Amino acid sequence: MTSAMRRFLIVFALIAAAAKGVFYASFFSNIGSTLSDWTSFGFVLPHQLFYNFVHGRPFQVSIYSAVDAAVGLALNPYAYMNYNVVHIHLTPYLFAPLWALHPSAGWLNGIIVLWNLLGGALLTGIILRRSSPRDFLPKAAFALAVFFGGGLLRILDQMGQFLLFSGPLILGAYAALRAGRRGWFLAVIVALCLVSEDAAMIAVAFAFYIWLCERDKRPFAWTALGFAVPYL
């Protein structure tokens, strides 16, 4: 790497870190206030699901909706209903005990942000180390600067939706694919599908990507389809 490239990477990484530091600090500062839209509306649902899960009412929700019949909660005459009639979430509840250590709106968002940032950074490094070992460091530095400095917060601020837990699992599936670890690949695909049925559709689409673009890995496509399609 030339000295000019090294200087560019350092400056680029510093700018990305500074910019995103401001955005994430602003986001969590707003969550700590009583004025934040990020802790109202749809955020109430995942927060209550975590609360009920660690208090002996797993998968139960008591939100009464008289507006949107499409989500399956409208005019519910009972105190509680099983949320699996709307969406089936399983993998996200692995994080419920961690949330219970500090049960708050800020910490639920914090878990989602940390899971995606740290998991995404680790798996990005693993993928790049395998695919480009000779010039791994500069590529990893640039990729991580883009990863942390990009617009990921615009996705992660989506009201604590459980589908947000799928990000690192998608990267994990790709890392297992590149490593040729079919058993690990299947385990990650299962965990991804169990995030929600929406994520199962992502697994199906990923299988078609493998079939079309990773022809030497086509057995992995059948592995993904073999679980994701029946589950979906």
Q: pLDDT for 185-202, tens place per residue? A: 999 999 999 999 989 999
Which of 174, 193, 164, 166 has its CA nearest to residue 124? 174
Q: How far apart are CA 194 and CA 73, in angstroms?
A: 22
CB 70 within 8 A of CB 177: no
Q: What is the pLDDT of residue 4?
A: 78
Residue with tokens 């975590």: 50
Q: How far apart are CA 151 and CA 118, in angstroms?
A: 16
Q: Which is it for strands 81-82 and 60-61: parallel, antiparallel or unpaired? A: antiparallel
pTM of the entire predicted model: 0.85
Q: Note the Cα 206 to chain centre separation in Å.
A: 16
Residues 200-225 have pLDDT tens digits of 999 999 999 999 999 899 999 999 99
Hey, what are 153's tokens?
């917060």
